[in-house]
């Protein structure tokens, strides 16, 4: 079985290679010109892109997946069964249109399309878990049962630092950006019951306070789901690895089991989350 995912997965390249995940790239544009990106970009190349995002004179955007790119990836799989895992279609009408065209064109391939109902880290932890189940030899029916169960028990939380970037991309007003920055406010975001939708979960004054709130939300979520632990992925953009490591350490000190990995972000997340951000996607076991 071949696992295909888009480059929204916040999984580091070495792990992608190790697990044999085949990636379709989201194109990225800087000031209207296509920018050379790849899932194999080095940390230095990612930080160069991050610097471009931080420059207020630049406009960095992504476009929908290209049908030809997906089709070529399917062709390389030959006659093997293909599992194509993608982000929530609620996040992009372009994705819906692309998937419709792909299904028409790739009708002869044996493909299972799986919407993870989530974005970035929460999408990624599901892909990572699926890849490891495939490597362990899970049969297709059992794999799909576990993926559907995981999807219903996945949640997404994050902390945002660059409020001016959120203003530039139309997510918050200028007054909020000025006020929040002056007060050193860290907005907290999280997924809701509605697939692919993020909402405000409050704010914090520093990363210790932010992580305390995130851990409390996770603890409450596990209690509601009667779960004894999580499988989680933390993705990091910018100089926030200390914050991510602190969150991982806090989770490791709780009464529940916590299998947590930290990955530096991939390029597809940056134009949306901004250049200063860390988030966690977790599956309640």
User: What are the structural domains of the chain?
Assistant: 2-152 (3.40.50.10170), 154-284 (3.30.1180.10)
Instruction: Output the pLDDT for position 170.
Output: 46
Residue with tokens 């006020």: 179
Q: Within 10 A of 280 (CB to CB), how many other CB atoms are there? A: 30
Does this model's pTM top 0.85? My answer is yes
Mean per-residue pLDDT pooled into runs of 10, the chain (285 residues): 94 96 94 94 92 87 90 93 91 80 92 93 97 96 96 92 48 38 68 75 91 96 96 93 97 97 89 82 96
Q: What tokens were used for 117?
A: 């109902």
Sign of CA dihedral 27, 29, 34, 38: negative
Instruction: Output the pLDDT for position 200.
Output: 80
Alpha helices in the chain (DSSP H): 13-19, 43-54, 67-76, 93-105, 120-135, 140-152, 163-168, 174-182, 207-225, 241-252, 270-273
Measured CA to CA, the distance from residue 179 to residue 172 in angstroms comes to 11
Instruction: Output the pLDDT for position 181.
Output: 41
Output the CA–CA distances (angstroms, integers) from residue 39 to 36, 78, 141, 232, in the order listed: 11, 22, 29, 21
Looking at the DSSP bridge assignments, the partners of residue 252 are none
33 CB burial (10 A radius; 0-12, 13-18, 19+): exposed
């Amino acid at each position: 079985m071949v696992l295909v995912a888009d480059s929204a997965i916040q999984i580091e390249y070495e792990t992608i290679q190790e697990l044999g995940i085949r990636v379709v790239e989201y194109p990225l544009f800087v000031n209207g010109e296509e920018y050379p990106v790849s899932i194999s970009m080095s940390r230095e190349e990612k930080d160069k892109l991050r610097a471009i995002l931080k420059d207020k004179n630049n406009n960095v955007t992504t476009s929908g997946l290209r049908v030809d790119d997906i089709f070529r990836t399917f062709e390389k799989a030959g006659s093997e069964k293909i599992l194509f895992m993608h982000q929530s279609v609620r996040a992009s009408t372009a994705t819906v249109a692309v998937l419709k065209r792909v299904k028409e064109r790739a009708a002869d391939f044996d493909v299972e399309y799986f919407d993870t109902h989530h974005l970035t880290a929460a999408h990624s932890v599901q892909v990572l878990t699926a890849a490891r189940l495939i490597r362990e030899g899970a049969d297709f029916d059992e794999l799909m049962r576990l993926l559907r169960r995981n999807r219903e028990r996945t949640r997404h939380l994050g902390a945002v630092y660059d409020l001016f970037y959120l203003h530039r991309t139309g997510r918050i007003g200028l007054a909020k950006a000025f006020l929040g920055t002056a007060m050193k406010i860290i907005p907290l975001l999280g997924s809701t019951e509605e697939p692919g939708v993020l909402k405000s979960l409050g704010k914090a004054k520093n990363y210790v306070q932010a992580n305390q709130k995130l851990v409390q939300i996770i603890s409450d979520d596990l209690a509601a789901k009667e779960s004894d632990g999580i499988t989680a992925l933390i993705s990091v953009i910018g100089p926030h690895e200390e914050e991510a490591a602190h969150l991982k350490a806090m989770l490791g000190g709780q009464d529940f089991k916590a299998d947590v990995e930290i990955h530096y972000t991939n390029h597809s997340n940056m134009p949306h989350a901004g250049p200063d951000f860390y988030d966690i996607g977790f599956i309640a076991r």
